[in-house]
Amino acid sequence: MISRKKKNPASFRLMTYNIHGGIGTDRKLDLSRIAAVIEGSQAEIVCLQEVDVNRGRSAFTDQANEIARHIGMDAHFHPALDIAGEKYGDAILTSRRSRLVKAGPLPSTGEQRGALWVEIAMDQRRINVITTHLGLRGGERNRQAAALMGSDWLDHPRRDDQAFILAGDLNAVSRSASYRDLRRMLDDPAAKIARPTFPSRFPILRIDHILISRHLEASFVETLLSPLSRLASDHLPLVADLAFRD
């Protein structure tokens, strides 16, 4: 799917992907297609949204751990929604040493939204990866972005000397207020080059994003468009090759 090899051996590839509960554009549930898209991308860190755990619509599968097992990674999962044991939310997968820092809700007026923060070891350094899936309403997204920019998340004291990444389905195009607010703190390496990510069959909106702190730079960013990625979910995945600036 993605043929470009990383030129910098110190870099790492990160993906963000809204998997739509494993339900493809043909309305079939098939996690193996999601796993194949991820595996083909060669991503080392994977941020997922719309992940089902123990939900009837997805055969009561633990999707986070099932996908992680298939591609040889470990999974961190946060349920933004938990109704009678049926969970739905975000996940971060990686084969590198990692630990959960924080998981919690974001201010929501429609469907409850949340965020997940995992610290990942990169040789002698650490990166802080936050994934989220913001709301559909503009005002709600603005409040959620403001919360993410607060001291509990992106404005945490460690931000001065550690790298941060915010990746996910922000439901926000580049002209939206929530996106512009987040860009005051983080860079968007895909701002001028990445193709739209939604809907996957005929993508016209760039609403899935990888935003990075000043400690990082991107050498490569791409929206993964292939017959399989168009089929596996209603979103296309976005990948970036990132490295520390120094």
Would you say 214 and 186 are in contact if contact means Cβ atoms under 8 Å apart?
Answer: no
> Is 226 within the bounds of a domain?
yes
Please tell me the predicted confidence (pLDDT) of residue 167: 98
pLDDT tens digits along 59-74: 999 999 999 999 999 9
| Domain-located, residue 1 | no
- Range name among 87-101, 166-180, 184-198 with the lowest pLDDT average: 184-198
**Residue range of the domain that includes 218:** 12-244
Task: Give the whole-angstrom CA distance, residue 237 versus residue 239.
Answer: 7
The runs of H, that is alpha helices, within the chain are 31-41, 63-71, 138-148, 177-183, 227-232
Calculate what percentage of the chain has a pLDDT beyond 70. Answer: 96
pLDDT at 2 over 80: no
> What's the pLDDT at 3?
43
- Is position 59 within any domain? yes
Q: Provide the 10 A C-beta neighbour count for residue 189.
A: 20
Answer yes or no: are the C-beta atoms of 129 and 44 closer than 8 Å.
no
Q: What is the pLDDT of residues 41-62, one digit of tens each?
A: 999 999 999 999 999 999 999 9
88, pLDDT greater than 60: yes
Q: Count CB neighbours of 10 within 10 A.
A: 10
Q: Can you tell me the distance from the alpha carbon of 14 to that of 144, in angstroms, rounded to the nearest whole number? A: 23
Kindly give, in sequence order, each residue whose CB lies less than 8 Å from that of residue 150, ignoring residues fewer than 6 positions away. none
Asked whether residue 53 is assigned to any structural domain, the reply reads: yes
Total tally of structural domains belonging to the chain: 1
The distance from CA 210 to its chain's CA centroid, rounded to whole angstroms, is 7
- CATH, residue 232: 3.60.10.10
Residue 66 phi/psi, 5-degree rounding, is -65, -45
Tell me the per-residue pLDDT of 134-146, one tens digit each, with 9 for 90 and over.
Answer: 999 999 999 999 9
Tell me if 130 sits within 8 A of 116, measured CB to CB.
yes
Q: Tell me the average pLDDT across 210-219.
A: 97
pLDDT band (50, 70, 90) for residue 26: very high
Residue 2 in domain: no
Q: What is the mean pLDDT of residues 83-99?
A: 96
In a domain, 20, yes or no: yes
Please determine, for residue 106, whether its predicted confidence score (pLDDT) is greater than 60: yes
Instruction: Report which of residues 10 and 21 the model is more confident about.
Output: 21
Q: Per the domain annotation, does 177 fall within a domain? A: yes
Phi, psi of 69 (to 5 degrees): -65, -40
Could you tell me if 89 and 18 are in contact, meaning their C-beta atoms sit under 8 angstroms apart?
Answer: no
- In this structure, what token pair is assigned to residue 189? 């390496």
List, for residues 153-174, the tens digit of each pLDDT value: 999 888 788 999 999 999 999 9
Q: Residue 213 domain-assigned?
A: yes
Query: Which of 125, 120, 90 shows the shortest CA–CA distance to 104?
Result: 90
How far is the C-alpha of 142 from the C-alpha of 165, rounded, in Å?
19
| Cα–Cα distance, 209 to 181 (Å, whole number) | 14
